[in-house]
Amino acid sequence: PSPRSSQPIGASEEALRCEIQELKQKDLALDQEIAQLLSEGYSLEELDKHISLLHEYNEIKDAGQMLLGKLAVIRGVTTKQLYPEYDLELSD
């Protein structure tokens, strides 16, 4: 049985209400952030482009991290030990 099935119905309903409230607050915060950016002169198209570029960057970074991890396993070292060899900062 799943953990939720052992909870009383009222408890799971309350948890859902809390989660819905948190999501509503996040939605409001994001709307406020978008309004702030728009007031600073950004356009929705520009924001969409930045988001798209960030997704692409993260995918490339994830692939690089995966390759570094595999190389570290092959060499029997930690990923951290490879960073200087490839002129990478630990914050990269």
Q: Where are the domains of the chain?
A: 9-42, 43-91
Could you tell me what percent of the chain has a pLDDT over 90? 57
Higher pLDDT, 8 or 38: 38
Q: Per-residue confidence at 36, pLDDT binned at 50, 70, 90?
A: very high
Measured CA to CA, the distance from residue 64 to residue 56 in angstroms comes to 12
pLDDT the model gives residue 56: 97
Q: What share of the chain is helix, strand, coil (3-state, %, to 5)?
A: 80, 0, 20
pLDDT the model gives residue 5: 54
pLDDT the model gives residue 47: 84
Q: Per-residue confidence at 69, pLDDT binned at 50, 70, 90?
A: very high
Its pTM stands at 0.53
